[in-house]
């Protein structure tokens, strides 16, 4: 269903990242009220976004519960979640150690699912946006583990869309192409390969927020045209 985001209360994870901050800015412009979650208190403060801040690692099973509790304590209700947190690693699978595999799964897949599980009792009629990635559609060599976590999140979103229908919760899976967020320059393992120029985070963020407003179920990589062929 279509949504007016004015005065809505939204929990935004990864709020200090390049795309998270851009999404937060677009939501604030719509009149939304935010709770900001991220790993670094300094980076959250530097984002310039208004709203209470929750510092924690989404890979930690407690962080999602803490973020939901802090949001409800401030606003008394939860209208939506935008999960923009995540990490990336590069390199062939044979060179990827267990710690990197565990970290990617915890950050990119388990964290969002645990967060949503904590939010479900309070989210009737609301929405959740999960940021997957183009690699869920087109997995490249040297990114098998990362692509698997993003494809897993996309699969979960498809199932959750059906599972949460009776609660009237919209689940929106977003798979943007490479975006200039700086994430690729901060891999948790491996060396960043040569990458083509990415999309502007502000453009991607605007498209994501439009998808929420219009009640879209997903935004595939091709949905970020005209910048994407």
Q: CB-based burial of residue 131 (10 Å sphere; 0-12 exposed, 13-18 middle, 19+ buried)?
A: buried
Tens of pLDDT along 33-53? 999 999 999 999 999 999 999
pLDDT tens-digit series, residues 155-185: 999 999 999 999 999 999 999 999 999 998 9
Question: What phi-psi label fits residue 9: left (phi over 0), alpha (psi between -120 and 50 degrees) or beta?
Answer: beta
Rounded Cα distance, 175 and 188, in Å: 21
**Would you place residue 228 in the very low, low, confident or very high pLDDT band (cuts 50, 70, 90)?**
very low
What b/e readout covers 103-126, taking b as 16+ CB neighbours within 10 angstroms? bbbbbbbbbbbbbbebbbebbeeb
198-211 pLDDT, tens digit per residue, is 999 999 999 999 99
pTM for the complete prediction?
0.95
Q: What is the pLDDT of residues 73-127, one digit of tens each?
A: 999 999 999 999 999 999 999 999 999 999 999 999 999 999 999 999 999 999 9
Query: Is pLDDT at 227 greater than 70 in this prediction?
Result: no
In this structure, what DSSP letter does residue 107 have?
Answer: I
* % of the chain beyond a pLDDT of 70: 98
Classify residue 206 by burial, with Cβ atoms within 10 Å: 0-12, 13-18, 19+: middle
Torsions phi, psi for 130 (to 5 deg): -110, 130
């Amino acid at each position: 269903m279509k949504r007016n985001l004015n005065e809505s209360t939204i929990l935004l994870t990864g709020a200090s990242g390049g795309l998270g901050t851009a999404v937060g800015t677009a939501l604030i412009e719509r009149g939304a009220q935010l709770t900001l979650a991220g790993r670094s208190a300094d980076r959250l403060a530097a984002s310039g976004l208004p709203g209470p801040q929750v510092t924690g690692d989404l890979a930690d099973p407690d962080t999602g519960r803490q973020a939901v509790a802090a949001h409800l304590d401030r606003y008394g209700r939860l209208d939506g979640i935008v999960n923009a947190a995540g990490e990336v690693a590069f390199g062939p699978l044979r060179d990827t150690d267990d710690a990197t595999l565990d970290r990617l799964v915890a950050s990119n897949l388990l964290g969002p699912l645990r967060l949503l599980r904590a939010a479900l009792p309070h989210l009737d009629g609301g929405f959740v946006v999960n940021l997957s990635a183009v690699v869920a559609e087109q997995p490249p060599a040297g990114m098998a583990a990362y692509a698997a976590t993003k494809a897993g999140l996309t699969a979960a979103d498809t199932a959750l869309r059906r599972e949460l229908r009776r609660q009237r919760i919209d689940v929106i899976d977003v798979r943007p192409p490479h975006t200039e967020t700086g994430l690729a320059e901060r891999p948790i393992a491996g060396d960043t390969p040569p990458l083509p120029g990415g999309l502007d985070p502000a453009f991607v963020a605007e498209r994501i927020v439009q998808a929420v407003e219009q009640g879209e179920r997903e935004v595939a990589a091709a949905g970020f045209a005209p910048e994407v062929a």
